[in-house]
Amino acid sequence: MSDSDPLSLPVLPLRDLVLFPGVTVPIAAGRPATLKALEAAQKHKGKLILAVTQRQNTRDVEADGLFTIGTIARIEQVQRTLSGVQVLLHGRERGMAMRYDETSDGYLSAVVREVEEMPPSSMEDPAFVALYREARARAGELGEKSGLAQDAVRQVLAGIDEPGRLADLVAGYIDISQEERQALLETLSIEERVRRVLIHVQRQLEIMDAQSNLKSKVQEEIGDRQKEIFLREQLKAIQNELGEGEEGDDLAELGAKLEGLELPPEGRKEVDREMKRLSRFGREAMEAQVIRTYLETVAELPWSERSEERLDQAEAARILDEDHYGLKEVKDRILELLAVRQLCLEAEAREAEEPHNEDLAVEDIDLVEEPEAAEAGPEEASEEAAPRPATPESAKGDPEDDPTNAPILLFVGPPGVGKTSLAKSIARSMGREYVRISLGGARDEADIRGHRRTYVGAMPGRIIKGMKQAGTKNPVFLLDEVDKLGVSFQGDPASALLEVLDPAQNDSFTDHYMGIPFDLSEVLFICTANFLQNIPGPLVDRMEMIEFSGYTEREKQAIASQYLIPRQLRRNGLNAEQIEIGEDGLARVISEFTREAGVRQLEREIGRLARKVARKIAAREVEHVAVDAPKVTELLGRPKVHPEKMAQQDQVGVATGMFYTPAGGDIMFVEATTMPGKGKLALTGQLGDVMKESAQAAWSYARSNAQALSIDPQDFERDLHIHVPAGAIPKDGPSAGVTMATALISSLSGRPARHDLAMTGEITLNGRVLPIGGVKEKILGGVRAGIRQFLLPKENEADLEDLPKEVIDQIEVTPVKELGEVLAVSLCDASFRDGRLLFGDQRPEDVAPLTSNFEH
């Protein structure tokens, strides 16, 4: 049949079915028009019929309800049934209905023309060959996964050598919608049809793989569960045969252990309720495992176990001094705690004896004054007897008044000064257990209070876990890095700590997982932090703060000699006969290779030094190394730290200030210079807003007191530039106010500022000098830089008591209350009398007084 020879064929409407060329399918027919069309087709010479799919699944068929392209099929077999006929159709080629006509017998016929396919441009094209081979391979895989025999699939594919026929065959059997099937039938390009069929096959394979994985997982889960039940039953039977007890034995053991705990009333009620629930469940029940885990957690907590405290103050002081150098304030606080505990125990012992003596006295008086009371019955005598004083437990009252409550300490200081290690030493000196948890980065409230048992995988919080680890009711509990707590949508752990660290509440701390109160009042909580401002105010208010300041160079040398060097020698396999680190060598390591408030980097550098020596000794190059200052440079290389040093001479517009960071104190230079301009003030050096405001205040003070400061008013029409090196480091804070004012006035007046003097203090517009913080660290930094004379606010004079005696003996400190006193000391050839700043031979009556609210 060709395009010029159209045929008139009966039409077989198909519902929800698309017949492809080369595919043989059985069809059930029962509609009268369809039966008549089949009869007409059988009378045709080739028993041909046009099988066309209906657009809609309707019983009555019209020409508009049929697609245009269908398949010219041959009727292979017809079998009549009670409901109609079963027809076996074999698709031959695609056919296009030119028009549909309704015959007088009531069925549709069509003028059909064969549709020619569009072959690929070249059957040898590598891309098409690869596409065809991939389609064959995937079609075979789909057939095997669909349950067909492997040999049958291979036999079918072996009989197909045309790409178009392969695409039609596969399209007739894959599970796709009617619209997608019709689209494939109407795709005349063989290459495009093969590609589309490959896509549908690949999708079917992925769906079958997903279903297979899901089925295997479900079967595996069910199988594991059944296997577990079966094995448990077998284990139970084996245990019974061996006489190892029934299932209830371990429950009885757990119940006996819980019965022996000194639980609070609400705790006893909850535990008894959970034990009854556990006894009703089988061991295989998931709920039984949850309940059992909860009860075992309760049983493992130290409800009444306590460590026997060591109250010997001398021994405790020896242990603290053995582990840490200095830190007098915190050591005194621990010894005070031991003294208080000792006195409280003695008072409790006396109270335990007093009630017995008072009863004897009352009985003696009754016998003398009222003899008839001796003849009264036992019940009457007990009613008339004087009441006993309350026991210490009943007399506790307010938890804050309980002498057994331990303090809650907060150690605040820079890194490496011994906060964490001191907590462990405190536990050892007191004879208590030690527990440490790090709170750095904790962002979930459940880290502190635990998860409720309604959640899958619930567990207690880290506080209860720590108490379980300690095994006693009165450990030393370290909450490390409490200033690093985070906040997230899961809650604020800092707020959860409020109950833990409140002496009025922590005697009944309730973990979400436990659901019953636990007494934390005897725990010695110690928190550590680097930055106090990062801790919420309500949390700080519940703790007793002890500040750790940075170590001086002399303290670092002592710590290195007593602790760090011996420890690093042991770690590196050396002894004192092989290496000797002199004081000058140690001083160079401290000053030129470390810059810190603590000693961590110092220990690392000492370890590096020891390793260098160990390598030489191991190589048999030397047997003994004496490490002095030049040897340090030879072993460790060039210095890593270049601290500021005192200026060599007095300069105009350059003043020396002091600053403090967590790494310690140091000096800084403030430079000021004038230039032609319009009276503008420029500030550089990455200054923060507070430092900029200090410079503005100094500028305004100088302009308002120009005559008293001997400054030409014309100079304020020049531009002034203030710079604070180093420019790459951000700086902020009010304590550089006096330094900026000195450099500014020195530049405007043309008088040099002293190079051997360092100063610190905040200033106001009327010249007052306000107190600042970090005095100890700032002066120690100045001493390291070679400066021995300092200016401090008058109100900071008491802070000098924190300085070591060897530092106080070598420095001279001038306390000041106003800027005039500062300038009189910091500027060369200046003095301050009667509220006037005098230079050289100036007399007070020739100089205007500085504007100030002070009385001179």
User: How would DSSP label each residue in 441-506?
Assistant: T---THHHH---TTSTT----HHHHHHHHH-SSS-EEEEETGGG---BTTB-HHHHHHHHT-TTTG
Compute φ and ψ for 798, nearest 5 degrees.
-70, -25
Closest CA relative to residue 695, chosen from 657, 752, 726, 751: 657
778 is catalytic: yes
Burial bucket for residue 630 (CB in 10 Å: 0-12, 13-18, 19+): exposed
Q: What is the DSSP string of 555-583?
A: HHHHHIIIIIHHHHHHHTT--TTTEEE-H
Strand partners for 668: 657
Residues facing residue 50 across a β-bridge: 11, 72
Instruction: Name the active-site residue from 473, 612, 776, 778.
Output: 778
What lies within 8 Å, CB to CB, of 32 at 6+ separation is 106
Helix axes 689-704, 737-749, angle to 10 degrees: 40
Tell me the CB-side half-sphere exposure of residue 835, using CA atoms within 13 A: 13
Cis peptide before 682 (omega within 30 of 0): no
Residues 835 and 850: beta-carbon distance below 8 Å: yes
d(CA 809, CA 783): 12
User: By the 8 A CB rule, do 652 and 520 touch?
Assistant: no
Rounded CA gap, 686 and 728, in Å?
7
Question: Could you say which DSSP state residue 818 is in?
Answer: B
Cα(75)–Cα(546) distance, integer angstroms: 101
DSSP, res 308: -
Catalytic residue, chosen from 425, 429, 710, 735, is 735
In angstroms, what is the C-alpha Rg of the chain? 48
Q: Is 735 one of the catalytic residues?
A: yes
One-character DSSP codes across 537-550: HHHHHTSEEEE-PP
**Token duo for residue 171:** 């399209």
Helix (H) or strand (E) holding 687: none
Give the residue among 90, 109, 88, 94 at the shortest CA–CA distance from 36: 109
* Nearest residue to 819 (alpha-carbon basis) of 705, 712, 668: 705
Cβ within 8 Å of residue 76, ≥6 positions away: 24, 88, 89, 90
**SS3 sequence, 582-612?**
CHHHHHHHHHHHCCCCCCHHHHHHHHHHHHH
Count of H-run helices and E-run strands, the chain: 27, 28
Backbone dihedral region of 321: left (phi > 0), alpha (psi from -120 to 50 degrees) or beta? alpha
CA distance 236 to 227: 14
If you search the block for the tokens 């949390």, which residue do you land on?
Answer: 539
Name residue, tokens 């008086």.
365
Residues pairing with 659 in the sheet: 666
Closest CA to 450 of 408, 486, 500: 500
What residue spans of 619-770 are helical by DSSP H?
Answer: 629-636, 689-704, 737-749
Per the CB < 8 A criterion, the answer to whether 95 and 71 are in contact is: yes
- Chain Cα centroid distance, residue 101: 78
Report the SS3 class of residue 833.
strand
How many CA atoms within 13 Å lie on the side-chain side of 378? Answer: 0
The tokens describing 557, both together, are 């040398």
Active site residues: 735, 778
